[in-house]
């Protein structure tokens, strides 16, 4: 692709094949179908060119952590993937990939980082799924932003498995309250739960706890079946404990580099 370093697409293809092989092994061990899982490529600090290469390789779900980086990257990807302009005299297509959020979008953008309320209106314009909803106030702001943008956002309740406020997430006892607020908020759809395994802890035990908490969310909306859990280093335990969405960065894209769009 234009602007790609030589061999980058081949590198991404090889990494993608290796990650998919790891997922297949984990699924076999857990007696699960790999088709049940969604691979989210976490492209923070990587250029839009990498996103386009991954889309070309069949990846449709892209995760970002910071709005300052994600918003312009989503716009660049939308422009690159936009259909050719309609010939003069024909009916023109309207909207953009970043703004419409339709089922036909070639990229599904997942916002997975901690989200401040002052960034909610920006995120609501391009994200399809927000994984890091952990307080009722954020629910209200996101709902208003989504409604104003004419979109519906799928929201996951981020659960803290270690009660560390620096990492975000609502304590398990409060997950139901946040889920109920999402369910009641116009412009939002309750999708499920998300968590990050605590540092130094047994990820299998952590993800087993998340799986139990997902039942609380499903009691509010039975279709809220997403369990976003597992990253490059702990995807196996996540798959074994019911993860439906894996957030893979380093194993797929390599070690982090400074942001470059």
Look up the CATH number of domain 8-79+103-253: 3.20.20.10
In this predicted structure, the answer to whether residue 42 has a pLDDT above a threshold of 90 is yes
In this predicted structure, the answer to whether residue 4 has a pLDDT above a threshold of 80 is no
Q: Could you tell me the pLDDT band of residue 258, with boundaries at 50, 70 and 90?
A: low
In this predicted structure, the answer to whether residue 251 has a pLDDT above a threshold of 60 is yes
What mean pLDDT is predicted for residues 29-55? 97
> pLDDT value at position 183?
98
Three-state SS letters, the chain: CCCCCCCHHHHHHHHHHHHHHHHHHHHHHCCCCHHHCEEEEECCCCCHHHHHHHHHCCCCEEEECCHHHHHHHHHHHHHHHCCCCCCCCCCCCCCCHHHHCCCCCCCEEEECCCCCHHHHHHHHHHCCEEEEECCHHHHHHHHHHHHHHCCCEEEEEEEECCCCHHHCCEEHHHHHHHHHHHHHCCCEEEEEEECCCCCCCCHHHHHHHHHHHHHHHHHHCCCCCEEECCCCCCHHHHHHCCCCEEEECHHHHCCCCCCCC
In this predicted structure, the answer to whether residue 196 has a pLDDT above a threshold of 50 is yes
> pLDDT value at position 259?
54
> pLDDT value at position 167?
75
Q: Could you tell me the pLDDT band of residue 201, with boundaries at 50, 70 and 90?
A: confident
In this predicted structure, the answer to whether residue 92 has a pLDDT above a threshold of 50 is no
> pLDDT value at position 163?
72
In this predicted structure, the answer to whether residue 93 has a pLDDT above a threshold of 60 is no
> pLDDT value at position 257?
62
Tokens of 21: 């092989």
- Mean pLDDT, the chain, as a whole number? 90
Residues linked to residue 62 through DSSP beta bridges, in sequence order: 41, 109
Q: In the chain, what percentage of residues exceed pLDDT 70?
A: 87
> pLDDT value at position 1?
43
> pLDDT value at position 260?
52
In this predicted structure, the answer to whether residue 33 has a pLDDT above a threshold of 90 is yes
Residue pLDDT, tens place only, 230-248 = 999 999 999 999 999 999 9
Q: Could you tell me the pLDDT band of residue 256, with boundaries at 50, 70 and 90?
A: low
Helices 8-29 and 48-56, axial angle in degrees (round to 10): 60
Residue pLDDT, tens place only, 95-153 = 333 333 445 688 999 999 999 999 999 999 999 999 999 999 999 999 999 999 999 99
Helices 136-149 and 175-184, axial angle in degrees (round to 10): 20
What mean pLDDT is predicted for residues 161-182? 89
């Amino acid at each position: 692709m234009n602007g790609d370093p030589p061999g980058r697409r081949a590198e991404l293809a090889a990494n993608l094949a290796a990650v998919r092989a790891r997922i297949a092994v984990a699924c076999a061990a857990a007696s699960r179908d790999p088709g049940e899982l969604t691979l989210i490529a976490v492209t923070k600090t990587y250029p839009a060119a990498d996103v386009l290469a991954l889309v070309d390789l069949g990846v449709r779900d892209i995760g970002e952590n910071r709005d300052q980086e994600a918003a312009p990257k989503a716009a660049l990807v939308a422009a690159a993937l936009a259909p050719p302009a309609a010939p003069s005299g024909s009916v023109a297509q309207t909207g953009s990939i970043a703004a419409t959020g339709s089922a036909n979008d070639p990229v599904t953008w997942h916002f997975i980082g901690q989200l401040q309320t002052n960034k909610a209106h920006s995120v609501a314009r391009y994200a399809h799924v927000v994984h890091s909803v952990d307080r009722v106030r954020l629910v209200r702001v996101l709902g208003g932003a989504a409604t104003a943008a004419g979109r519906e956002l799928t929201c996951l309740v981020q659960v803290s498995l270690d009660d560390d406020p620096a990492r975000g997430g609502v304590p398990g006892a409060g997950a139901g309250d946040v889920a109920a607020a999402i369910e009641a908020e116009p412009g939002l759809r309750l999708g499920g739960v998300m968590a990050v395994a605590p540092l130094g802890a047994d990820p299998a035990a952590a993800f087993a706890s998340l799986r139990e908490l997902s039942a609380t969310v499903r009691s509010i909306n039975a279709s809220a079946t997403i369990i976003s859990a597992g990253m490059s280093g702990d995807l196996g335990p996540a798959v074994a404990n019911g993860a439906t969405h894996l957030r893979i960065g380093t194993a797929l894209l390599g070690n982090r580099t400074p942001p470059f769009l």
